[in-house]
Structure 1
Amino acid sequence: MATLFEHAGGEPALRRFVEIFYGSVLADPVLQPLFGRGKPEHVDALTAFDAETFGGPDRFTRDLGGFPGLIDAHRNLHITEPQRQRFVELYLAAADAAELPADDRFRASLESHVEFGSRVAMQNSNARTDDELHPLREVPRWTWEDEAQS
């Protein structure tokens, strides 16, 4: 069976998806305070993260700072629940706009991935100490069964 990465259309499809998503985030009044004017490298990093999570190349871990860098990027952002929910909403809307596969199994996996990841990011963004961080310390591997596997 194809990985989620392959089913999505590989790196080109994920990059198109992330570009659409990132553009919507930068234009959104709820999320823009978290992202500022944006960083050019963010599209590449999120594309690599999603690719690795969905069973593609491990470039995010190997070349882009991996999960420790992701934890650092979210520290002290103080993400709120409304911001987390808006992030999820725009992520799923971008999947439609980018024409990622619309089959129920893929979309369920995509939604569970962004729900889980946004909750981890919110927890880490509000952690005052390392003990308050989410215990996840590596890029999760998402499967067709809608479960993260380290």
Structure 2
Amino acid sequence: MTSLYEHAGGDEALHRLEEAFYAKAVADPVLKVQFPVPRQHHVEHLTWFTAESFGGPDRFTRELGFAHLINVHRHLDITDEQRERFVQLYLEALDETGMPEDHPFREAVRSHLDFGTRVAQQNSRATTDDELHPLREVPRWTWEND
């Protein structure tokens, strides 16, 4: 079975996707609160995370670790509107960067975004460690592509 990572086009394609998404997020009035200033390595880290969760290299885990992801979302207090806008802009970036358009791939990406943004939102609102989502490693997303 082909991984989402391979189907998407690997690191180069995912980097283009994350660049397009990040440019949209930084400029968006709803998300600007969460992305107030562009960070030099943010696109690279997003690429590493997406690549690993789509079945590619585990660079995010090796270089940063999942605790990093929890820490950057802590206390952001992500609203429902921000979570939904994140998904919307990401899906727009998929189209704009020429990512595969087949239904199984798009549905896998949508479910990944839905899950991931809900985890991030829960972690952003946690006031104690017990309120954090129990996920402690980059999830490996699978799909039906036969």
Structure 2 counterpart of 1:25, one-letter code: A
Residue 5 of structure 2 is aligned to residue 5 of structure 1: yes
CA distance in 2, matches of 1:43, 1:98: 15
CA distance in 1, matches of 2:36, 2:87: 18
Counterpart in the other structure of 2:113: 114
Counterpart in the other structure of 1:33: 33
Aligned length: 145
Counterpart in the other structure of 1:74: 73
The alignment's C-alpha RMSD in Å is: 1.0
Give me the identity figure in percent: 59
CA distance in 2, matches of 1:17, 1:25: 12
CA distance in 1, matches of 2:12, 2:72: 25
TM-score (norm 1): 0.95
Structure 1, gaps ≥5 residues long: none
TM-score (norm 2): 0.97
Structure 2 counterpart of 1:71, one-letter code: I
The CA deviation at 1:145 is: 4.3
Counterpart in the other structure of 2:95: 96
CA distance in 2, matches of 1:47, 1:102: 19
Higher relative contact order (CA 8 A, sep 6+): 2
Cα shift readout 1:82-106 (whole Å, capped 9, x = no counterpart): 0000000001110000110000000
Structure 2 counterpart of 1:97, one-letter code: E
What SS does structure 2 have at the residue aligned with 1:43?
A: helix
